């Protein structure tokens, strides 16, 4: 167990869990974690997540709860809401969603009727399950129309997306992705939504930290509804928030009296009611406190330095890979992630290469590439990212070294002695960059 993290009570109570927790601390310490959706939270965020606030039930919203004993948790949730609004420049914030998928479900529940049409990017092109993937609730309860990236450039083709939106007339158009290494033109998405009478929705889970850090354009204030998880580049606890405009510009108030029309136009209220009581029960106040702390941290100038460095690191890493003959989807990156196209070395080898890298102490994930000639269970790509390494304090110099290691392993992914050798070098590098 690391000298800075002790789980004394767990050690005493449950040796089995303590054993794996200790091993996980060591694992996180001595590997290069490069899964782009992960991060190391601050000790303050960690403490809040594990705090006594976990003992409290708080169904409802501040000032309007179903339980007593709310004096402190009401204040905590109010602070979290105000900080979220300030950080993102949003008119309204709901900080209760348990995570990204339930938050997206709440947005659909607030704005759509079963059977309405949604339009999002295909999962195997870099989208998300909840953006209309066929086995997900989002395609079972709603009609799903999916857009792709361009086959040649592997980038968003806004003309094609516009044409599809005009043809299909969806009720909501979703932007925001899990494996897209380029900037997202949120403004254009919103304009297309306006043109076809749809809501615009941005799922900024992957890039929220880059947006508030000023290195990626923001979908606020113009997008109707924005969802982000709080645990990725934003570096908060596991969870999500929904940001929205106050007013529903598409509300149909025909035939309603003044009072009902006012309620119908209230987008903020629709979102809140969809989260609770529509979908969730008691919010996790411990996590809401951790979110509030993370928002405060993200307002500090150091966070802007971190966000800038995340992108600088990804760019240097991408250049190093390219210099070593590795093929990258879209030819590079503008954000925190890189999608490696492994097809020049073999079709469907993503998993094998991910395992080879893990044997060398480099943790990434297999991923489909656009128009993957193989299947999602045996994809031809590998997704890597720089948020965790950047939080550890690594910079361009380290990215060059890591890029060389990754390239060597990819080119010779069956070579176990190479993996063993690099694992030792990885450990030595990790020892120089502690995270707690
Ligand atoms: N599973 C997340 C990711 O790794 O990108 C997205 O929800």
Q: Does some domain include residue 42?
A: no
- The pair of structure tokens assigned to 251 is 């509300």
Of 298, 320, 343, which residue sits at a domain end? 298
pLDDT over threshold 70, residue 176: yes
Query: How many domains does the structure of the chain reveal?
Result: 2
Residue having the nearest C-alpha atom to atom 2 of ligand 1: 37
Most distant pair of Cα atoms in the chain: their distance: 75
Position 2 scores a pLDDT of 52
Residue having the nearest C-alpha atom to atom 3 of ligand 1: 37
Q: Is the peptide bond before 277 cis (omega within 30 degrees of 0)?
A: yes
Residue having the nearest C-alpha atom to atom 4 of ligand 1: 37
Position 297 scores a pLDDT of 98
The residue whose CB lies within 8 Å of the most ligand 1 atoms, and thus the one to mutate among 105, 174, 178, is: 178
Helix (H, G, I), strand (E, B) or coil at 354: helix
Q: Which residues pair with 64 in a beta bridge?
A: 61
Considering the entire predicted model, what is its pTM? 0.97
Length of the chain: 436
**Mean pLDDT across 179-202:** 98
* Ligand 1 atom closest to 101 (CA): 7
**Dihedral sign from CA coordinates of 210, 216, 219, 222:** positive
Q: pLDDT tens digit string along 221-255?
A: 999 999 999 999 999 999 999 999 999 999 999 99
Please indicate, yes or no, whether residues 290 and 340 belong to a single structural domain of this protein.
no
Q: Does some domain include residue 241?
A: yes
Residues with C-beta less than 6 Å from any ligand 1 atom? 37, 100, 128, 178
Residue having the nearest C-alpha atom to atom 5 of ligand 1: 178
Counting residues of the chain whose pLDDT is more than 90, the rounded percentage is 98
Q: pLDDT tens digit string along 6-43?
A: 899 999 999 999 999 999 999 999 999 999 999 999 99
Please indicate, yes or no, whether residues 85 and 140 belong to a single structural domain of this protein.
yes
At residue 436 the predicted structure's pLDDT band, cuts being 50, 70 and 90, is confident
List residues with catalytic annotation. Answer: 57, 59, 203, 229, 232, 238
Of 275, 298, 321, which residue sits at a domain end? 298
136 CB contacts (<8 Å, ≥6 apart)? 129, 130
Q: pLDDT tens digit string along 94-148?
A: 999 999 999 999 999 999 999 999 999 999 999 999 999 999 999 999 999 999 9
Mean pLDDT, rounded, of the chain: 97
Q: Does some domain include residue 116?
A: yes
Residue having the nearest C-alpha atom to atom 6 of ligand 1: 178
Q: pLDDT tens digit string along 28-37?
A: 999 999 999 9
CATH number at residue 334: 3.90.1150.10
Of 298, 317, 337, which residue sits at a domain end? 298
* Ligand 1 atom closest to 365 (CA): 4
Q: pLDDT tens digit string along 405-433?
A: 999 999 999 999 999 999 999 999 999 99
Q: Which residues pair with 228 in a beta bridge?
A: 241
Q: Does some domain include residue 274?
A: yes
CATH number at residue 179: 3.40.640.10
How many A from CA of 148 to the centre of ligand 1? 18
Position 227 scores a pLDDT of 99
Please indicate, yes or no, whether residues 261 and 332 belong to a single structural domain of this protein.
no
Please indicate, yes or no, whether residues 109 and 181 belong to a single structural domain of this protein.
yes
pLDDT over threshold 50, residue 195: yes
Please indicate, yes or no, whether residues 257 and 343 belong to a single structural domain of this protein.
no
> CA 355, CA 363: separation in Å to the nearest integer?
8
* Ligand 1 atom closest to 38 (CA): 4
The residue whose CB lies within 8 Å of the most ligand 1 atoms, and thus the one to mutate among 136, 177, 206, 354, is: 206
Burial 234-246 (b: 16+ CB within 10 A, else e): bbbbbbbbbbbbe
Please indicate, yes or no, whether residues 286 and 406 belong to a single structural domain of this protein.
no
How many A from CA of 365 to the centre of ligand 1? 10
Please indicate, yes or no, whether residues 347 and 365 belong to a single structural domain of this protein.
yes
Count helices and strands in the chain by DSSP H and E runs: 17, 15
Helix (H, G, I), strand (E, B) or coil at 433: coil
How many A from CA of 375 to the centre of ligand 1? 18
At residue 435 the predicted structure's pLDDT band, cuts being 50, 70 and 90, is confident
Q: Does some domain include residue 76?
A: yes
Domain of residue 416 covers: 302-430
């Amino acid at each position: 167990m690391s000298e800075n993290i002790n789980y004394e009570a767990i050690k005493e109570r449950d040796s089995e869990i303590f054993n794996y927790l200790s091993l996980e601390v060591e694992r996180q310490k001595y590997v290069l974690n490069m899964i782009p959706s992960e991060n190391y939270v601050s000790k303050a965020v960690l403490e809040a997540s594990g705090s006594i606030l976990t003992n409290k039930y708080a169904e409802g919203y501040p000032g309007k709860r179903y339980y007593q004993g709310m004096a402190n948790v009401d204040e905590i949730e109010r602070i979290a809401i105000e900080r979220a609004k300030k950080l993102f420049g949003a008119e309204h914030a709901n900080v209760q969603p348990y995570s990204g998928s339930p938050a997206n479900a709440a947005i659909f529940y607030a704005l759509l009727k079963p059977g309405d049409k949604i339009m999002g990017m295909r999962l195997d092109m870099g989208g998300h399950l909840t953006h209309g993937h066929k086995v997900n609730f989002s395609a079972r309860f709603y009609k799903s129309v999916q857009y792709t990236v361009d086959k040649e450039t592997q980038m968003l083709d806004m003309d094609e997306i516009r044409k599809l939106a005009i043809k299909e007339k969806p009720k909501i158009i979703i932007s925001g992705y899990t494996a897209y290494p380029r900037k997202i033109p949120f403004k254009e998405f919103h304009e297309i939504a306006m043109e076809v009478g749809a809501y615009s929705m941005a799922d900024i889970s992957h890039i929220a930290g880059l947006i508030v850090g000023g290195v990626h354009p923001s979908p606020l204030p113009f997008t109707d509804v924005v969802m982000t998880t709080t645990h990725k580049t934003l570096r908060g606890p596991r969870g999500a928030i929904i940001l929205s405009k106050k007013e529903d510009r598409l509300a149909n108030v025909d035939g309603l009296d003044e009072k009902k029309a006012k309620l119908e136009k209230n987008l903020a209220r629709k979102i809140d009611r969809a989260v609770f009581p529509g979908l969730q029960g008691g919010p996790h106040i411990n996590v809401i406190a951790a979110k509030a702390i993370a928002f405060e941290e993200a307002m500090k100038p150091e966070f802007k330095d971190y966000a800038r460095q995340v992108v600088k690191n990804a760019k240097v890493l991408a250049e190093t890979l390219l210099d070593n003959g590795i093929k990258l989807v879209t030819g590079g990156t503008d954000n925190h992630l890189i999608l490696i196209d492994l097809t020049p070395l073999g079709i469907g080898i993503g998993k094998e290469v991910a395992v080879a890298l893990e044997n060398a102490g480099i943790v990434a994930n297999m991923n489909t590439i656009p128009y993957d000639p193989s299947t999602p269970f045996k994809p031809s790509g590998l997704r890597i990212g720089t948020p965790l390494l950047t939080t550890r304090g690594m910079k361009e110099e380290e990215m060059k070294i890591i890029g060389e290691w990754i390239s060597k392993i990819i080119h010779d992914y069956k070579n176990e002695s190479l993996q063993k050798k690099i694992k030792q070098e990885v450990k030595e590098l990790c020892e120089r960059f502690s995270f707690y």
